[in-house]
A = this chain, B = another copy of it.
Amino acid sequence: MALSARNRLRGTVRSITTQGPIAEVVVDVDGNEVAATITSDSVERLGIAEGDEVTAVVKASDVMIAT
């Protein structure tokens, strides 16, 4: 599936912390930590677990620049 979202950061799931409806998935991308808050349902639907290879996907318009 090709997607218009511009950013694809391939990495390994370091942790999944589920708290009620929300889950925080932390992905290790070449030593950088990228955290995603998705629904717990999505974690189940995707069937992801610690150690899995995943891609963190982000629209370029959702990325801010700080100096």
Q: Which residues of A contact B (CB under 8 A)?
A: 1-9, 19-22, 24-25, 27, 29-39, 41-42, 45-48, 52, 54-67
Pick from B32, B41, B67: contact of A1, CB under 8 Å: B67
A35-B63 contact given A20-B22, A22-B20, CB 8 Å threshold? yes
Pick from B2, B20, B35: contact of A7, CB under 8 Å: B35
Task: Label chain A's interface by main secondary structure.
Answer: strand
A30-B27 contact given A3-B57, A57-B3, A61-B61, CB 8 Å threshold? no
- A31 to B36 Cα, complex, angstroms: 21
Find out whether the CB atom of B29 lies under 8 angstroms from the CB atom of A32: yes
